[in-house]
Structure 1
C-alpha cells in the first residue's frame, strides 16, 4: 500500500460515521453528476436538476445513459464512459443530451474518474449548457478568458477537509504531487496565512450548504515560492442520494494574469489621481516656499515616505542659476515626512543653506540634469545620499532603503532638486515611480520659477513704489500728519497706491491719497507720474476740483490706466478744508465729542475717464479734529461687504488716540489682513492750533 493509500486508510478509520465518495462542485453554475462504475447516478447536484430537468429523486439510482442520452448517441456515451473508467483519463467535450422535456441540448462536459477511499471508481461529470457557457464567456471579459485558457484545478475533500482526490492541474498549482495530497488536510498542503480564509470558507460551506463562487486568494505555494499568485476558488458541498454530507468540492482557477492586470490598472489610476491632485494643489500662490511645500505635500505619503525640495540659492537671489566654481549652493525650501522619523533629522531644514558632496544625488542632478534612481540602498549606499556620516546613521536607523533625486527644470534651466525616499513603505522605487515624480517636478518647477520671477518683479516694483513716496515731516503748520504704505502680500502684485503731503504758501497744506488701478512696475511708474503732477498742480494754487480736472487729462493720456484720488487743501488760519474726490472712498472726519463720519462728497468718476466735471466741498477742520484718508486696501476684503468694513473703520476711530502715528498703526493692525491682496496707503491729519504743537487725540 502506498503512503497516500495509508493516509487515506488512516483517515477512513478516523471517521466517526460512514464515508462515501465525494464529488466536485461546478464553476459558475456548472452541474456536477457522480456516476457509479455500473453507470448508475449516485449524486445529482441542484445545478444538474436545472440543466437536465430531472429532480434529484428522479435521477439518483438511474442509469445515466438511458436517462440522458438519445438512443442514436448511447453507444458513444457508453464507450466514452468506459474509457474514462478504465483508463482514468479525463474526457472533455460537447455532447448532445436529452432533457426531461424531450428536447436535445448541447452540453459542455468535463468527465473524469475519481477513486474513493475504498478503491471504488466513480465518474465525475461537470457539465453546463453550452450556450450558457458561451454567454458567460462573452460577458466576463478577462476572467472568463483566463478560465478558458488556464487549467482548472479540481479536488474533493472530506468533512474534515482532508484531500480525497486531486487532479494534476491543482497539484501543479500547489507544487505538491497528487499522491502527497491524499489523506492530508487542506492546511497541511497549503500552510500559508493567505489560505486560512479559504479554510474558513470551506467550513462555512460545509455547515450551510450555500456554494461559494470565485473567492479570490493571493498567496504563494511550493510551485512558485518567490512571488504571489492569485486564484479564484469556488466551493460546493457534496451530498449522496440520501442527503448525507460527503465533503466539499474545490474548483480553482489561476487568475494571476487578471490579478496583476487589475493591480496594474489600480496603480495606474492611483498615479492619475496623484497627478491630478498634484496639479490642483501645486502652484496655488506665487510664493516660492509655499509652492515647494505644496509639491512635497502632494507626494507624501502616496509616492514617498519623505520628500525634500532644495532650490539653487542663485535662483532665489538673482532669478537665474549660476553654478560657478565648486559645489552648488542650495537653500532648503520644503520637507515633508509621512510620519515622525529619525530620518527627518538627517534632512536639511527649510531656510538653511547647504552644499552636497560630489557623489550625492543632488550633485548628480545638477551635473547631468537627469534624475537618479537608487532602488536598493545597503550599507555604504546610505553615505551617498546623506549629507554626512551622522545623517547616514539616522537614515539607516529609520530604515531608508530606496531613494530618488529629480531635477527641477524650468524653461530649460535647472533651478533645484527634489529628493524622495522610502523607509516604511517596503516596495522600492521603480521606473514608473521615477516617471511620476519627474512629471510632477516638471510642473512644479515652472510654478516655482514663476514664483521666483514674481518675487523679483514684486521686489523691484515695491522698491520703485517706496522710492516714489515722500519722506514726510510729521509737523506742518496747524497739522500733525502720519502716513503708512503697506504693499500687497507676497502672493500678490504691488499696486499703485500713494499718499502725499504738500506744503503751500500761506501755511496751507495739500493732502492727497490715490490708487492707480493696476499692479506691478507699470502701476508704480504711473503712480509716480501722477504724484509728481499732483505736486506741480498744487503749487499753482488751484482749487481741488481744478487739480483733479488737470489730473484727469494727464491720466487719460496714460491709457489704459485709471486712478482714484482724494485731494484736499487745509488752511489753518481759517480752519477750512477744501476737498474733492475722483471716484475714491470717502474720507473720515473725526470731530472732538462727535462720532466719526464719512464725508458726503461728490464722488465723480475715476481719473482717466475724461469729460466729467469735479466738485469741491468746503468744511471746517478745527484743532483737535482728525481727517483720515485711505485707499481701498484698508477696508476691502473678498469675504465681507464694504459697508460692514467701513462701519468697522468708524468704530475704531470712535476711541481717542494719543497720536496720529499710533492711530495709523492701530488701523493697520485691526483692519489689514496679514495676507491682504491689495496695497494700502493711509494718511491721517490732526488739526492743531498754529501757536503750539500738541496731539489731537483728545481735542483742544
Structure 2
C-alpha cells in the first residue's frame, strides 16, 4: 500500500491547519496510559488512561512509590535496574512487563520508557503503557488491513478533499498501468487522462458533499497498461470520515469488468441483429415484384449496415437458365437497386438499375457469387478499388467519396446463387467486421427467398399472360352497323390471371355476336378452360342459335369441365331490325347508354352460371337506336373487397354519364377510374356503339 506520507493536519502547501480536532485516533484506540516518575521513583503524573488500564485513581497513585504500588516483589530488582538505566541517560527501554492491578491481579502491559528533563534540570521518567492484548489486536488488525489492501485484486485508492491521490494499492497500479508515485499528489485528470475525468471528479465531489456512496458506476476507457484495448470498470465511491466525523476524503474501489462489458456488448449486438432481421422480415418481400423486392433489401441495409448498397442479380437466374460453374469464367449481372444514405459521388460508380454488366472472375462481386461466400475487405486500398469498381473512373469516384471498407454477400435461395448484395462504407468510420458479414448474410438469405419467389412469380405470370392473350381475339373486322372497342387487363397477381374473355363474332345476315365471360377460378387452368369455352361459343354462334340456346349448350359443355363454372353474357345484334337479343348466365347486367338519357343497367333475367346444369335460360330483346351504346364487362371491373357491389355499380354509371367520349376513351377511363394496381381479379370489357 502506497501513501504520500503527508500529515492529516497539513494543507497542500504544508501549512498547519489551525483549530481543534475532535478525539478519535490511534492513541484512543490503543488506550495509551501516561505515567511520570520523579528521580525518587514517586508517581508525579497519572493520566486518566492509566486509571482505566490499572485501576487506581490519580488520588490513590500520585505521590506513591511506583515500586510499592505497581511492581511485584519478585520484579523489584529488575525494575530498579531498568529505572536506573533510563534515569542515567543510557537510553530508552521498551518491552512487556507485568504490572499489579488494583484488583490484586496482574496485567501484562506493553511499555515505552524514556528520560525527561524540565527547564530546571530536574529529571523524570516517562512511561507509556498499553494493554498487550489490545496492542496485539491492533497490530493484527493493522497488519491484516495492510495485507488486505495490498493483496486485494480490487483496485483501491484514497483521494483527499482536494481530490488528489494519497493512497493507491498494487491492484490499482496494475489496472491503470501507473506506479503509486505516478498517482500520489495528482488529481484524476493529471494521472489518468484516458478516463472521463469530468464525470469521475463530479462523482467524487457529490460523495464529499452528500456523504451518499455511489456504487457500481460504469466507466469505459483505455489505460497506460493496455492503450490499444478498450476496458470497462465498475467504480464505487464512498466518503471517508474519522471517528469524530471529520471528513478525510473519498475512498475509491475499481473492478475491471471488461469481460462482462464485452459480453453485454455482444448480447446487445445480438439483440440489435435480431431486431434488424425481424424488421427485414416485415419490410422485404411485401410484393412479388422483383425490382421492388431488391429495392426493399437495399433500403434495409442502408444506413443500418452501409452508406451505400447495391443489389445485382445474375442474368441466368432471371431467365431461369441452369447456371454453369462460373469459377473460372465471367459473371453477367443485371443491376436491380442502388441506395445511398446521403448524396455521394459513390452513386456514380454503381451500375444503374436495369443495366446488364459482365464482370470477370477477378472482380470481388463475381468472386462472391462464384465461391458462394462473403467477400470482405475491411480496409480498402487502391488495388482493392480496381477489383470493386467497373473501371478507373468509377474507382476515382469511390476514392473521392471516401470509401474505405467493402462487403459483398451472395444471394442464395434453395441452393441456387441468384446474385449478390454489395455494401460500402464511407462516412461510417468503422470497418466491416465478421458480425457485419453475419448480419448481411442473414438479410441476404431472407431477401434471396423473396427474390426467388418474385422471379418464379414473374415466370408464372408471364406464362399465364401469354396463354391468356393468345386465347383472346384479334381486333374485330369492320362490322355492319357497329363500332366496337375492347380491353383486357390482368389481375395484380400471377395466380389470379386467366379467367376472363371477350369476343366479337361476325355472323350471317350482317349480325354481330358480342360475348363477355368469366371462368370462376384463376391461373393457367382457368385460362385453358376459358379458351375451350371461347372456341365452343364461336362454334355455337355459327349455328344460328338464339342467345338462350347458345348458353344452354355452353352450360352442358361447362358441366363436363368440372370443377370449373363460368358466367357469361351473350348479345346478338341485328342491324336490320335495330334489335339486340341478350341472354345472361349468372353475369352482371350490361349497361345501356342512350344520348340525352342517364346510363342504365338492363333489367335481364340473371340465369344460373354455366356448369350448374339443367337451368333454363331466357332471351330478352332490347331496341337500340343509332348512337346508343352497350357495355359488357366482367365483375373484375366493379367488385372490390371493401365496397358493396351496388355502390360500385353506381360509380360505373356515374362515370359513363356526362360528356361525349370515343369508345377507346371510355375503355381507358373505366380502367383508370375503377381499377387499382394490385387488384385481385382480371377484367374484360366490350363496348359497342350503334351506327347508321
Structure 1 equivalent of residue 349 of structure 2? 346
Provide the residue aligned with 1:201 in structure 2. 203
1:481 aligns with 2:484: yes
Distance 2:192 2:399 in 1: 36
Partner of 1:561: 564
Distance 1:566 1:235, change over 3 A: same
- Whether the aligned pair in 2 keeps the contact of 1:365 and 1:407 (CA below 8 Å) is yes
CA distance in 2, matches of 1:413, 1:150: 59
Partner of 1:138: none
- Aligned counterpart, 1:385: 388
Match among 133, 136, 142 for residue 85 of structure 1: 142
Asked if residue 182 in structure 1 is aligned to residue 184 in structure 2, the reply is: yes
1:676 aligns with 2:666: no
Q: State the partner residue of 2:298.
A: 296
Distance 1:435 1:612, change over 3 A: farther
Asked whether the 8 Å contact 2:332–2:356 carries over to 1, the reply is yes
| Shift in Å, 1:254 | 1.6
Residue segments in structure 2 that go unaligned for 5+ positions in a row = 32-51, 54-130
Task: Work out the CA distance in 2 between the residues paired with 1:565 and 1:265.
Answer: 63
Quote how far apart the aligned CAs of 1:375 are.
2.4
Change (3 A) 1:598 1:75: farther
| Deviation for aligned residue 1:548 | 1.9
Secondary structure at 2:689 match in 1: strand
Paired residues for 1:411-450 under 5 Å:
411-450=414-453
Preserved contact between residue 332 and residue 348 of structure 1 (Cα < 8 Å): yes
Most deviating of 237-246 and 429-438: 237-246
User: 1: CA distance between counterparts of 2:18 and 2:498?
Assistant: 95
1:303-382 equivalences under 5 Å are 303-321=305-323, 327-382=330-385
| Structure 2 residue 643 is matched with structure 1 residue 586 | no
Instruction: Tell me if the contact between 2:494 and 2:523 (Cα under 8 Å) persists in the aligned partners.
Output: no
- Contact kept, 8 Å, 1:509 with 1:571, in 2: the verdict is yes
Maintained 8 Å contact 1:286/1:492 = no
SS of 1:274's equivalent in the other structure is helix
Matches within 5 A, 1:41-190: 79=136, 81-85=138-142, 89-91=146-148, 112=149, 151-190=153-192
1:495–1:163 distance in 2 versus 1, CA, 3 Å: same
For 2:76, the equivalent position in structure 1 comes to none
Q: Quick check: 1:84–1:90 contact (8 Å CA) kept in 2?
A: no
| Cα 1:167–1:3 shift into 2, 3 Å | closer
Could you tell me how far apart the structure 1 residues matched to 2:517 and 2:404 are?
Answer: 60
Closer, same or farther: CA 288–14 of 1 in aligned 2, 3 Å: farther
Give 1:20-59 correspondences, 5 Å limit: 36=26, 38-39=28-29
Q: Which moved more, 1:315-324 or 1:390-399?
A: 315-324
Q: CA RMSD in A?
A: 3.2
| C-alpha distance in structure 2 between counterparts of 1:150 and 1:401, whole Å | 46
User: Contact 1:7–1:184 (CA<8 Å) still a contact in 2?
Assistant: no
For residue 437 of structure 1, report the CA deviation from its aligned partner.
2.3
User: For 2:649 and 2:19, how far apart are their aligned partners in 1?
Assistant: 93
User: What does residue range 535-546 of structure 1 map to in structure 2 within 5 Å?
Assistant: 535-546=538-549
Partner of 1:505: 508
Please list the CA deviations of residues 578-604 of structure 1 after superposition, one character each: whole Å capped at 9, or x if unmatched.
222222222211122221112233323
Residue correspondence of structure 1 range 619-634 to structure 2 within 5 A? 619-634=622-637
**Residues 538, 293 of structure 1: CA spacing in aligned structure 2 closer, same or farther, 3 A cutoff?**
same
* CA deviation string 1:340-377 (max 9, x = no partner): 32222211121111122432111212332332222222
For the pair 1:456 / 2:459, whether they are aligned, the reply is: yes
Checking the alignment, whether the CA contact within 8 Å between 1:545 and 1:616 is kept in structure 2 is: yes
| Cα distance in 2 for residues equivalent to 1:78 and 1:583 | 113
Q: Give the Å deviation of 1:395.
A: 2.0
1:258 aligns to 2:248 (yes or no): no
SS in 2 for 1:160: coil
Mean Cα displacement is larger for which, 659-668 or 5-14? 5-14
Q: Secondary structure at the match of 2:630?
A: strand
Q: What is the Cα deviation at residue 262 of structure 1? A: 0.9
Change (3 A) 1:476 1:10: farther
CA apart distance, 1:436: 2.9
TM-score, normalised to structure 1, is: 0.78
CA contact (8 A) 2:556 2:611 kept: yes
After TM superposition, list the pairs within 5 Å mapping 1:226-237 onto structure 2: 226-237=228-239
Change (3 A) 1:218 1:514: same
Once the two structures are superposed, residues 589-638 of structure 1 have per-residue CA deviations (whole angstroms, 9 ceiling, x without a partner) of 11222211122333233322334333333322222211111122222334
Q: Pick the aligned partner of 1:217 from 212, 216, 219.
A: 219
The structure, 1 or 2, with the larger RCO (C-alpha pairs under 8 Å, 6+ apart) is 1
- Select the structure of larger CA radius of gyration: 2
Superposed displacement of residue 653, structure 1: 0.5
Deviations 1:75-120 (A, max 9, x none): 99964541343586334xxxxxxxxxxxxxxxxxxxx59xxxxxxx
Q: Is the 8 A contact 1:287 1:490 kept in 2?
A: no
Say whether residues 1:534 and 2:591 are aligned partners.
Answer: no
Secondary structure class of the residue paired with 2:474: coil
Q: Secondary structure at the match of 1:12?
A: coil
Q: Per-residue displacement from partner, 1:244-281 (whole Å, max 9, x unpaired)?
A: 43322222222111111111111111111222222232
TM-score scaled by length of structure 2: 0.78
Structure 1 unaligned runs (5+)? 22-33, 42-61, 64-73, 92-111, 114-148, 690-700
**Structure 1 residue 523 displacement after superposition:** 2.0
Distance 2:15 2:274 in 1: 57
Aligned-residue offset at 1:432 = 3.0
Which string of whole-angstrom CA distances, capped at 9 and with x for unpartnered residues, describes residues 143-162 of structure 1?
A: xxxxxx99222222122211
- Deviation at 1:474? 6.2
SS of the residue 1:295 aligns to: helix
Write the mapping of 1:398-413 to structure 2, written as runs, cut at 5 A: 398-413=401-416
Counterparts in 2 of 1:533 and 1:254: CA distance versus 1, 3 Å: same
Give the match for residue 396 of structure 1.
399
Query: Displacement of 1:430 after TM fit?
Result: 2.6
Cα pair distance change 1:195/1:687, threshold 3 Å: same
**Contact residue 3 and residue 168 of structure 2 kept, 8 A:** no
Give the conservation status (yes or no) of the 8 Å contact 1:492–1:678.
no
* Residues 475, 481 of structure 1: 8 Å contact kept: no
Q: CA shift at 1:558, angstroms?
A: 1.9
8 Å CA contact retained: 1:195, 1:217: no
**Matched pairs, number:** 591
2:411–2:420 Cα contact (<8 Å) kept? yes
